[in-house]
C-alpha cells in the first residue's frame, strides 16, 4: 500500500469533483454531530471549489484520494479552511498526517482554524494538536463555531 500526500490542482475539474465528493461525505457526518445541515461546505459545487482561492493537499492511498486539507496564507498566517477525510477512512491518522504536512512544510507564524462547536471529535483533535481556544461565535440558534489558533513555531511531535 502506497500512502502519499501531494498538492491537488483544484483548477482541474476531475480533481475538484473528487474533493467535493469527499467533502460532502465528511461534512454530512459533521452535520449529524452538530445537529444542523446548514454548513457552507455542503453547499459547495465544483465551480465554487475551483474559485475558492485555497491551496489543497490530498492524502492518497494507492492513488485513491482519501482526505484533503485546504488552506489560505495571508499576513504570515495559515488559515485552515477544510480538513476532510472520507468516512471509510476515519481513525487512520489521515487528518493528523495532513495537518503535520502543513505545519512542517509551510512557514508561517500562526495557524488558525474553526469548526462546529458541537463537533467534539474535531474540537478534541485541534486541542490535542496544541491549538488554543480563541472564541465561540453563534451563527444561528442551532449552529455555533469555535475558533482556534496555534503558534506554528511549536511543531507537532509524533
DSSP 3-state assignment of 44? Answer: coil
pLDDT reading at 1 higher than 50: yes
Check: CB of residue 25 under 8 Å from CB of residue 50: no
> Which has the higher per-residue pLDDT, 22 or 105?
22
d(CA 143, CA 37): 9
Residues 59-100 have pLDDT tens digits of 999 999 999 999 999 999 999 999 999 999 999 999 999 999
List, in order of start, the domains of the chain with CATH numbers: 3-110 (3.40.630.30)
- The answer to pTM > 0.75 is yes
Residues 34-52 have pLDDT tens digits of 888 888 899 999 999 999 9
Cell matching residue 113: 482554524
Amino acid at each position: 500500500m502506497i500512502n502519499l500526500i501531494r498538492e491537488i490542482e483544484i483548477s482541474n475539474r476531475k480533481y475538484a469533483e473528487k474533493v467535493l465528493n469527499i467533502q460532502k461525505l465528511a461534512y454530512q457526518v459533521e452535520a449529524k454531530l452538530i445537529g444542523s445541515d446548514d454548513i457552507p461546505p455542503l453547499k459547495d459545487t465544483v465551480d465554487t471549489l475551483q474559485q475558492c482561492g485555497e491551496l489543497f493537499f490530498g492524502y492518497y492511498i494507492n492513488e485513491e484520494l482519501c482526505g484533503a486539507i485546504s488552506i489560505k496564507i495571508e499576513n504570515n498566517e495559515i488559515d485552515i479552511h477544510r480538513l476532510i477525510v472520507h468516512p471509510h477512512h476515519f481513525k487512520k491518522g489521515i487528518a493528523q498526517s495532513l495537518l503535520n504536512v502543513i505545519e512542517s512544510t509551510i512557514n508561517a507564524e500562526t495557524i488558525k482554524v474553526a469548526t462546529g462547536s458541537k463537533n467534539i471529535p474535531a474540537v478534541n483533535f485541534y486541542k490535542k494538536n496544541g491549538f488554543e481556544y480563541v472564541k465561540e461565535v453563534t451563527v444561528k440558534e442551532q449552529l455555533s463555531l469555535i475558533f482556534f489558533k496555534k503558534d506554528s513555531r511549536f511543531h507537532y511531535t509524533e
